[in-house]
Amino acid sequence: AQTVTQSQPEMSVQEAETVTLSCTYDTSESDYYLFWYKQPPSRQMILVIRQEAYKQQNATENRFSVNFQKAAKSFSLKISDSQLGDAAMYFCAYGGSGSARQLTFGSGTQLTVLP
Amino acid sequence: SAVISQKPSRDICQRGTSLTIQCQVDSQVTMMFWYRQQPGQSLTLIATANQGSEATYESGFVIDKFPISRPNLTFSTLTVSNMSPEDSSIYLCSVVSFGEAFFGQGTRLTVV
């Protein structure tokens, strides 16, 4: 079974600064997806960024980028130029390849952005 | 992508009663997933709903407590039965398309 670990229950960052959220995972599969989801107080789960395991290049989406280390099974999220709207719970998630399988989520990191 | 409409968005229920949560997807999907998110916690998978067959429940969840229907490829319901305050949580439905998960807006359930 796959496991996802987020070791930072809470993080804070000053507005306009950069913050990195950590995630490690365990799997015996060679092909899979990794995700970061954001959940603001509205509780809607919003996809932030996605990484396919077969791609060596780290995914980027505007101010969001990942550091994917497949051998180390590490998948950290970097948020640059943090904005007040980035404040939310962030979940790292693992998804198997192939058919429409469910995701395995980490325990989450609550990010506070300080003005 | 997939758009999921989930309702109700929130409800306050008396203990001992049942609540049915509905999810409608804008496209046909093979599997739909139901998650529970207890206060301040991560998402825990309750069950996987396939059209035309019994739902598959994860350890710790049973059909009598969380009956699921999946009458067609775009719709599913989850019922929380004989509720107790411990059932107070957010319930989310989800589908996966090309490896990406899409979620309903969630149902915030409070049992009093």
- CATH of residue B8's domain is 2.60.40.10
pLDDT band, residue B17 (cuts 50/70/90) = very high
Percentage of residues of chain B with pLDDT beyond 70: 99
Average pLDDT over residues B51-75: 92
**Paired strand residues for A17:** none
Q: What is the mean pLDDT of chain A?
A: 92
Name chain A contacts of B94, Cβ cutoff 8 Å. Answer: 45, 102-103
Q: Which of B55, B52, B15 is nearest to B34 (CA)?
A: B55
pLDDT band, residue A98 (cuts 50/70/90) = low
Question: Which tokens sit at B26?
Answer: 């804008």
Task: Please give the Cα distance from B28 to B3 (Å, whole number).
Answer: 11
Look up tokens 């996809």; give the residue: A47
Name chain B contacts of A37, Cβ cutoff 8 Å. Answer: 101
pLDDT at A99: 54
Task: Please give the Cα distance from A46 to B48 (Å, whole number).
Answer: 21
How close is the nearest chain A Cα to the Cα of B49, in Å? 11
Alpha helix (H) ranges present in chain B?
none
B20 vs A41, which has greater pLDDT?
A: B20
Amino acid B99 reads G
**Paired strand residues for A12:** A112
Structural domain count of chain B: 1
B31, closest residue in chain A (CA to CA): A100
pLDDT at B13: 96
Pick A100's closest partner by Cβ from B45, B92, B95. Answer: B95
Domain holding B90, by residue range, is: 4-111
On whether the CB atoms of residues A45 and B92 are closer than 8 A, the answer is yes
pLDDT band, residue A100 (cuts 50/70/90) = low
Name chain A contacts of B42, Cβ cutoff 8 Å. Answer: 91, 105-108
Residue A97 has pLDDT above 80, yes or no: no
Among left, alpha and beta (phi > 0; psi -120 to 50; other), residue A105 is beta
pLDDT at A76: 97
Average pLDDT over residues A10-39: 95
Q: Would you call A47 and B30 a contact, using CB atoms and an 8 Å cutoff?
A: no
Q: Would you call B100 and A50 a contact, using CB atoms and an 8 Å cutoff?
A: yes
Average pLDDT over residues B69-89: 95
Question: Which tokens sit at A45?
Answer: 């789960």
Q: What is the mean pLDDT of chain B?
A: 93
Q: Which range, A29-38, B52-61, B83-92, has the best average confidence (pLDDT)? A: B83-92
* Topology of the domain comprising A3-114: Immunoglobulin-like (2.60.40)
DSSP label at residue B74: T
Amino acid B3 reads V
